[in-house]
Chains A and B, each alone.
Chain A
Amino acid sequence: MSSVFPVSALGREGAGGLSATDPRLRIVTAAIFAVICVSLTSLIALLLALAGAVALAAGFNLPAGPTARRMAAMDGFILFLLISLPFTVPGAPLFTLWGLTASLEGLTLAMQIALKSNAVILSVMALVGTVSPVTLGSALHALHVPGALVHLLLFTTRYIGVLQDEYARLRLAMRARAFRPANTLHTYRSFGYLVGMMLIRALDRSDRIMEAMKCRGFDGRLHVMARFRLAYADWIFVGVIGLGLLALIGVEWWLRAA
């Protein structure tokens, strides 16, 4: 089992392109882009939005192969919805397949959903997915996200690897004693023990971490170290993205009016 926790597996910080852009700006941009994308209805505007997301992906140096695989994984979730929509939404008949009639409205809706979801996911992967979890936590803190949530994220980042190692060790110990999973009661009981043991160990560990924190004067307040400043390039980024978003809204408005 490889790492379940790829540290910014797609793209790396400081990897050139737009990677130096302020992470706070990237989070906010991703949020605004998502809201605008979801409100668009014209297929042309949505195609432009998807093109914008592709441009962002290129700008943030997302590797094409792994990115496409992740997108495909996400599309897999909505595939059934996309296939069934043309046949379930009533409207002007378009074609008939095995006695089922597809409607123009249904097909349009399916295309809208496909374009919106892909544009949003791709932009989030480009803008937020390339930020390392640590920086992401600090940036969320700088954006005044509640401290408890930020620290939940940071603690998860820190201990998911430890938990994974613990799981791997226990699993290896089981295999070393000739354990092979099968559809037997013994298998289910053993996995039950494994999960139970991991929970107990996690609880014990959390107690020890709390003690270690108390030993260093922890009083319930946590401090985040990183501080961010907008650079000149960040303002150019804001300008370009802002113009792009305005253009999207303009196209949508113009096509609706026409």
Chain B
Amino acid sequence: MLLELSGVTFGYTDRPPILCGADLTLAAGERLCVTGANGSGKSTLLRLIVGLIRPTAGTITAFGHPCLGEADFAKVRRRVGLVFQDPDDQLFCPTVAEDVAFGPLNLGQTRDKAMATVARVLAQLDLRHLQDRVTYQLSGGERRLVTLATVLAMNPEVLLLDEPTNALDADNQARLTDVLQALPHAMVIVSHDAAFRAALGNRALVLQNGQLSPVAQDPVKTV
């Protein structure tokens, strides 16, 4: 099992708990879709998995090791890549190349090695032409794919995607779907978009009243 959450409870101060006793497992090769109403705690769930926030109760186990403190989660973040909902939060470097190189440099790669990683990942996503572009001048679709590249450059085993199709037009959405379908990674996909979930997911959970329960996978439609 890659990820295992059991009985996870979390609440923001002054509000009723948003998750109470949520369970989730993710095995290799699974593309797990999570749905739920606005504010039901889907983004919170993803932030909990990589330890940006800590549960008040319950356990999080990643790659067979229980995660308790920052040191454990720092290791998890090297193997679990979170793609944020808003690309502007994630792309903070002036140029695309620097942003994609940020993770590899943090992992201790030399500059030359990091540049090679940048070239490899951008080529994989067919984004070589964006390498020297300024991040805030990218279009919405380009931004989304570049955020994916920044995460893939870390060579993660699991991808967590938070509303990846947000604000994408049909063409870009189809392109993103193709890109993700070609990836071997296990994924947790939070999305409101039924067609997108149907095209990618192979298991589905719904988040309701702070708990995750299985639902039938959306019928597969052609996107």
Stretch at the interface among B75-83, B203-211, B213-221: B75-83
Q: Does B63 contact A (CB under 8 A)?
A: no
Stretch at the interface among A105-113, A119-127, A214-222: A214-222
Beta-carbon contact of B136 and A225 below 8 Å: no
Q: How many A residues touch the partner, as a band? A: 20 to 34
Q: Does B22 contact A (CB under 8 A)?
A: no
Q: CA A168 – CA B102 in complex, angstroms?
A: 30
Residues of A close to B98: CB separation below 8 A: 224-225
Q: Does A180 contact B (CB under 8 A)?
A: no
Beta-carbon contact of B47 and A219 below 8 Å: no
Q: A158-B135, A161-B136, A225-B98 are in contact. Are A208 and B103 (CB under 8 A)?
A: no
Contact for A216 among B47, B52, B103, B134, CB less than 8 A: B103
Contact for B92 among A134, A155, A224, A227, CB less than 8 A: A155
Contact for A217 among B114, B135, B154, CB less than 8 A: B154
Contact for A225 among B74, B86, B101, CB less than 8 A: B101
What count of chain B residues pass the 8 Å CB interface test?
35
Beta-carbon contact of B52 and A217 below 8 Å: no
Q: CA A221 – CA B105 in complex, angstroms?
A: 10
Beta-carbon contact of A217 and B94 below 8 Å: no
Beta-carbon contact of A133 and B94 below 8 Å: yes
Q: Does B151 contact A (CB under 8 A)?
A: yes
Residues of B close to A158: CB separation below 8 A: 91-94, 135-136
Q: Does A88 contact B (CB under 8 A)?
A: no
Beta-carbon contact of B151 and A216 below 8 Å: yes
Please encode chain B, from 147 to 169, with 1 for each CB lying within 8 Å of some chain A CB and 0 for all others.
00011001000000000000000
Beta-carbon contact of B78 and A217 below 8 Å: yes
Give the Cβ gap from B57 to chain A, nearest Cβ, in Å.
Answer: 22
Beta-carbon contact of B136 and A162 below 8 Å: yes
Residues of A close to B10: CB separation below 8 A: none
| Beta-carbon nearest neighbor of B98 in chain A | A225
Residues of B close to A157: CB separation below 8 A: 94
Describe B's contact surface by its main secondary structure: helix
Please encode chain A, from 186 to 214, with 1 for each CB lying within 8 Å of some chain B CB and 0 for all others.
00000000000000000001001101111
Interface centre among B47, B106, B135, B154 (most CB of A within 10 A): B106
Beta-carbon contact of A154 and B93 below 8 Å: yes
Please encode chain B, from 101 to 134, with 1 for each CB lying within 8 Å of some chain A CB and 0 for all others.
1110111000100110000000000000000001
Residues of A close to B86: CB separation below 8 A: 208
A217-238 residues with Cβ-Cβ distance < 8 A to B are: 217-219, 221, 223-225, 227
Beta-carbon contact of A223 and B94 below 8 Å: no
Beta-carbon contact of A215 and B81 below 8 Å: yes
Beta-carbon contact of A216 and B93 below 8 Å: no
Q: Does B67 contact A (CB under 8 A)?
A: no
Beta-carbon contact of A209 and B154 below 8 Å: no
Residues of B close to A224: CB separation below 8 A: 98
Q: CA A97 – CA B143 in complex, angstroms?
A: 64
B interface residues with partner A (beta carbon < 8 Å): 47, 50, 52, 74, 77-78, 81-82, 84, 86, 88-95, 97-98, 101-103, 105-107, 111, 114-115, 134-136, 150-151, 154
A interface residues with partner B (beta carbon < 8 Å): 7, 133-134, 137, 154-155, 157-159, 161-162, 205, 208-209, 211-219, 221, 223-225, 227
21 A-B pairs with C-beta separation under 8 A: A133-B94, A154-B93, A159-B92, A161-B136, A162-B136, A209-B90, A211-B47, A212-B90, A216-B102, A216-B151, A216-B154, A217-B78, A217-B103, A217-B154, A218-B102, A218-B106, A219-B106, A223-B111, A225-B97, A225-B111, A227-B111
